[in-house]
Amino acid sequence: MISEEKKRVLELFASGRKLYKLMRFKDAGNAFREALVIDPKDGPSREYLKRCDDYLENPPEDDWDGVYVMKHK
């Protein structure tokens, strides 16, 4: 059985992903941050938060297809 905390993390992650795909990186980042408050070890939320921060500094093109391209290792 999944805990209520994990359910909330999954809800926040799903919300963040929707916002991410809409290029609403600030709002998406906030959802991922909230998920990480509940579960600091949530790797997917941590990774997407990094991507949001990157896109806030270096926005993708208007025709962005949602694919994240690493620019460095």
| Residue 69 in domain | no
Q: What is the 3-state secondary structure (H, E, C) of the chain?
A: CCCHHHHHHHHHHHHHHHHHHCCCHHHHHHHHHHHHHHCCCCHHHHHHHHHHHHHHHCCCCCCCCCCCCCCCC
Instruction: Tell me which amino acid residue 55 is.
Output: Y
Domain of 35 in residue numbering reads as 4-57
Whole-model pTM above 0.85? Answer: yes
- pLDDT value at residue 8: 97
Confidence of residue 70 (pLDDT cuts 50, 70, 90): confident
Distances (CA, A) of 73 to 48, 68, 69, 70: 16, 13, 11, 7
Number of domains the chain is built from: 1
| Residue 40 in domain | yes
| Residue 65 in domain | no
- pLDDT value at residue 58: 92
| Residue 62 in domain | no
